[in-house]
Amino acid sequence: MFLIPVLFASILSIALLGVYFLTYYNTESGLEEKMTPFECGFDPLSKMRTPFSTRFFLLVVLFLIFDVEVALLFPVLSAFYSTTSTSLLLALLLFIAILLFGMFHEWNEGALDWVSG
């Protein structure tokens, strides 16, 4: 009973390693480029001190902030589902109001406008 999944996993691992070695060593063109690390969409062979878009950086930071705060809403919503209390509802509404105020402030400041100067 235990032998069949182990045998299947072993055969699949050997087959995938074989495909990797067959495709990796048979490609002569671009082998040096394939061996370079790839990180964040930047070309590792270019100059490291190229200018970086601050608008893109600000948009990424805003996305991370709102993503983390939305992830914090899930435990509150599950607690609200199990017990309905007025203080929990007020805390949830205050949290959402702060999120909306922050988003509207960033929108008013122009941080979310990608095409503006």
The pLDDT tens digits for 57-98 are 777 888 888 888 878 888 877 777 777 778 888 888 898 898
Query: What pLDDT does 11 receive?
Result: 95
Mean pLDDT of the 22-30 span: 62
Model pTM?
0.46
Average pLDDT, the chain: 77
Residue 116 has pLDDT above 60, yes or no: no
Q: How much is the pLDDT for 72?
A: 81
Which CA distances in Å does 95 have to 16, 27, 32, 33, 60?
A: 49, 55, 51, 48, 21
What ranges do the domains of the chain cover?
Answer: 3-109
Could you tell me if 80 and 89 are in contact, meaning their C-beta atoms sit under 8 angstroms apart? Answer: yes
14 to 5, 9, 18: CA distances (angstroms): 14, 9, 6
